[in-house]
Amino acid sequence: MQQGSMTHSKQHVLLLTFIAWLSILGFDFLLHAGLLAGLYLQPSPFLLPPLTAFTLIPVGYLSFLLLSILLVWLMIRLNLAGWRQGALFGLELGGLTWGAFVLGLASVSTASFSLLIGWFIGQTLELALAGAVVGSGLAGMRLWRLFGVVMVFVLLSVITTIILQALGVVTTTYIS
């Protein structure tokens, strides 16, 4: 795939998209099962019951795959490379995308203000992180090394979430 001065094989683009998606999933787990978990326990006509929501997590993760595809596609089209350019672009794209989504939800739903703000900040940071990953891959970082870094991040996110829940900082479980 060639755009401007950068040339990337389809395999490179697919692997980079997968690695970016993994970075989003790792942060998303920390965000929702750790940092925002208490907000999901509050009764709300807006949220599904915990067991139903838990079973639908894969649908949400597919939405992040689409965002990863969009991020990689745009960064290639715009000739963006490097972790800084990627992170900044991801932050901008995330802020605009999730800002629009949150404003739309605020206008038609019963979602709490704190949940909407948590989603906006968290999901924006997710795309900034994924942008840094994509930018690194587009700048020539070996994908196996990038995959290793992302897997360490995912592992640390899971461990941090478990510690938060064990310490009682987060008192929740997805299945109640």
At 78-101, the pLDDT tens digits run 999 999 999 999 999 999 999 999
Rg (CA), the chain: 17
Per-residue pLDDT, 6: 61
- Cα–Cα dist 4/25, whole Å: 30
Q: Is residue 30 part of a domain?
A: no
Q: Is residue 1 part of a domain?
A: no
User: Which distant-in-sequence residues (6+ apart) come within 8 Å of 18 by Cβ?
Assistant: 68
Residue ranges for the chain with pLDDT beneath 70: 1-6, 169-176
Q: Is residue 126 part of a domain?
A: yes
What's the distance, Cα to Cα, between the start and end of the chain in Å? Answer: 47
Per-residue pLDDT, 155: 98
Per-residue pLDDT, 175: 39
Q: Is residue 109 part of a domain?
A: yes
Per-residue pLDDT, 165: 84
pTM attached to this predicted model: 0.89
Q: Is residue 6 part of a domain?
A: no
Q: Is residue 45 part of a domain?
A: no
**Strand partners for 6:** 3
Q: Is residue 48 part of a domain?
A: no
Q: Are the CB atoms for 24 and 132 separated by under 8 Å? A: no
- Cα–Cα dist 93/80, whole Å: 13
> What is the b/e burial string over 108-139, where b = at least 16 CB atoms within 10 angstroms of the residue's CB?
eeebeeebbebbbbbbbbbbbbbbbbbbbbbe
Our count of domains for the chain comes to 1
Q: Is residue 93 part of a domain?
A: yes
Question: Could you give the C-alpha distances from 21 to 103, 109, 117, 132, 170, in angstroms and in order?
Answer: 25, 28, 22, 12, 25
Domain span at residue 125 reads 81-158
- Cα–Cα dist 129/165, whole Å: 24
Per-residue pLDDT, 157: 97
